[in-house]
Structure formats: C-alpha cells, structure tokens
C-alpha cells in the first residue's frame, strides 16, 4: 500500500512550536512508517520525516512572509495531485481545497476534517461528499450534513511526553492566545484560586493579548513564557498541577488536553465540543461551565490519580491507536474499490 500524506504548509512538519495540523500529519506519517507502510509526505522542504519527502516550498509561509500563502498552497496541492496515480491512497490533512481535485483523479482521497474554521466552508465538503472519505477527529465535531467513514482520535507519541508524579504548585494555560481559547478566563481562575499561572502559546490575537492578558502579566503570579517548543512543552505540562482549558467554542479535539494527560496532569475544561470525549470527568479532570466551577474543581484535583491520567491518554489517544484506525480506514476503502 502506497500512501501520500498531504500536510499543510503554514508551518514545518512537525512544527518547531505551534502547528497542530502539521503535528498530527507528522504523527500519522511516522506511525505509518513504523508499521512498514510505504509513505510519501508532501510538506515543506525543511520538514523532518522517516518517510519519503516531496515539496515545492522549502519553508513554511508562516515562517517566511515573502511567500504568498495562496500561491504556494496551490503549487503544493497540485504537486501531489499531478502524480496521484502513483499512490493507492491520498490522505488529505489540508482542509477543503484538495477536495476540488478529487473528481479529476482516480486515487481515493481520505480527508481528516481537523475542524470547521467557518460554516462557510461546508458547501465544499457537501459538494464532494459522495466522492470522498471523511474522517472526524471527534464525534462532537461531525456536521449533520456530511457522511463520515470513521472517527479517529488524534494520536500522540507517548515518548514525547514524560510522566510526572510530583508536580509543582502552578496552573498552566497552553495554547494559542485568542478569546475562544480562554486565556483571560484562565487568569481569573488562577487569581480566584490564589495560584500561580504560567501562560504559553502563540499570540494569535494581538489586540486581545494587549487588552485582556498583558495587563495581568507580572512575572510572579502570572507569567508568560512565549510560544514553547517540544522540550519546554513537555516540562511545562508535566510540572503543572493542572491544565486550564476554559474554551468558549466547540473545540474539535484539543491536542494540549491529551498531551497534559500523557504527562499525568489533570485538565479542568469548560464543557464544550469534544471535551467530554477527551476528559473522564472526576477521573482525569473536570468538566465545568464557569470560572467559579473551575475554582471549585481545583480543590478536588488532589483526588485524581496522575497515573490514571497517563493510562487513560495511552489507551485512548496513542499514536499507535490512531495509526491502526487510519490503516483500517484505508483497507476498507481499497477493499470497496
């Protein structure tokens, strides 16, 4: 079986820091290679992989602002599609644009829908519904207007996350700094609980950061450490008493939630989107609805077994389980041909 993995090119695959879709594409690629599958990764030229690598852009457009995103996305996607016949399966991790090629080629296209950036993109998915194979990353993120082949949870390489049975006494916000991710709410939770908060993430909304986050940063009880890479991420997640995830949108998955649990760290999250699928309430964290409920939940975190958090994550969100899920999808599609 020859598989082509199409990654986005906003960031390197895997990303040096932020880049969740690229990270998942990397995990799928490396996991398939470990299983002996013949994989070609289509990503940026500076990507790192054990698979064969093909590219048209040496760097990512979010890292090199001389690159026009639309131009290089078109060149990147067409580079794969023009050699589609060389593969048994194309696994699209690039959102809706590659679907527009799917009726022009014979190779089946599996598309992992990493989330809907807007309802405005659903008409593209609807148009190609009958010709494609859609995979959701959580049951909660399924559109009733689409047909799905499977739900495959994002998988994480446990080797990248160190179990820590003895955390330090701080709370962590880890993710892009944006209103829907709840950075400001995390600050309020920490202050009401009289706990130190460390904030790590890409500043995606500058105005929000300046108005709602920066005024609280003092280097003492509210600390911003920037956009962390893998080693810093592992340390921050593992040493945290709890991860705060007070989202205000229906998040499709939430990699940092699963990653925290891999480190043994419980998660306190607002009960929206995929959170009930990721968090075993009272066992690996708490599902709450308000800042006040989150503060109350913090008093109960000592009752949670950090070992159980790690076991839960390994059993449900491991790289191996994800890869097995996708291999099953590929085989079902090829057997139907």
Longest dimension (CA), the chain: 61
What is the domain extent for residue 235?
158-316
Question: What stretches in the chain show pLDDT beneath 70?
Answer: 337
d(CA 254, CA 280) in angstroms, rounded, equals 14
Same-domain check for residues 295 and 267:
yes
**Residue 206: left (phi > 0), alpha (psi -120 to 50), or beta?**
alpha
Query: Is the pTM for the entire model greater than 0.85?
Result: yes
Same-domain check for residues 268 and 306:
yes
pLDDT at 337 (0 to 100): 65
Same-domain check for residues 31 and 170:
no
Same-domain check for residues 150 and 162:
no
Same-domain check for residues 35 and 24:
yes
Same-domain check for residues 110 and 240:
no
Same-domain check for residues 212 and 64:
no
- Write out pLDDT tens, residues 124-164: 999 999 999 999 999 999 999 999 999 999 999 999 999 99
Same-domain check for residues 16 and 86:
yes
Same-domain check for residues 187 and 139:
no
Same-domain check for residues 12 and 141:
yes
- CATH number, position 295: 3.40.50.2000
Contact 198, 237 (CB under 8 A): no
pLDDT at 284 (0 to 100): 98
- Give the number of other CB atoms < 10 A from CB of residue 296: 15
Same-domain check for residues 6 and 122:
yes
- Give the number of other CB atoms < 10 A from CB of residue 50: 12
Same-domain check for residues 81 and 189:
no
pLDDT at 336 (0 to 100): 81
d(CA 115, CA 134) in angstroms, rounded, equals 12
Number of domains in the chain: 2
């Amino acid at each position: 079986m020859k598989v082509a993995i199409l990654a986005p090119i906003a960031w390197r695959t895997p990303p040096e820091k932020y880049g969740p879709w690229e990270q998942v594409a990397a995990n799928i690629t490396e996991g398939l290679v470990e299983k002996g599958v013949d994989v070609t990764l289509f990503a940026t030229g500076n990507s790192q992989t054990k698979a064969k690598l093909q590219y048209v852009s040496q760097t990512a457009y979010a890292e090199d602002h001389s690159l026009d995103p639309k131009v290089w996305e078109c060149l990147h996607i067409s580079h794969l599609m023009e050699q589609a016949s060389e593969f048994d399966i194309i696994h699209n991790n690039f959102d809706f644009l590659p679907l527009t090629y799917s009726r022009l080629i014979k190779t089946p296209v599996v598309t992992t829908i990493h989330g809907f950036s807007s309802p405005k993109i659903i008409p593209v998915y609807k148009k190609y519904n009958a010709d494609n194979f859609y995979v959701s990353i959580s049951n909660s993120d399924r559109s009733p207007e689409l047909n799905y082949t499977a739900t495959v949870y994002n998988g994480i390489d446990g080797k990248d996350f160190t179990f820590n049975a003895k955390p330090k006494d701080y709370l962590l916000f880890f993710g892009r700094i944006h209103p829907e991710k709840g950075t400001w709410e995390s600050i309020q939770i920490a202050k009401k609980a009289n706990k130190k908060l460390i904030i790590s993430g890409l500043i995606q909304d500058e105005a929000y950061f300046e108005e709602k986050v920066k005024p609280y940063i003092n280097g003492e009880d509210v600390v911003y450490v920037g956009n962390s890479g893998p080693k810093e991420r592992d340390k921050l997640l593992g040493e945290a008493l709890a991860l705060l995830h007070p989202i205000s949108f229906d998040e499709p998955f939430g990699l940092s939630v699963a990653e925290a649990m891999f480190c043994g760290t419980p998660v306190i999250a607002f009960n929206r989107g995929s959170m009930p699928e990721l968090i075993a309430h009272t066992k690996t964290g708490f599902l709450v609805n308000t800042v006040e409920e989150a503060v109350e939940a913090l008093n109960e975190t000592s009752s949670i077994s950090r070992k159980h958090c790690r076991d839960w994550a390994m059993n449900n969100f491991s790289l191996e389980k994800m890869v097995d899920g996708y291999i099953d999808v590929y085989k079902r599609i090829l057997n139907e041909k």
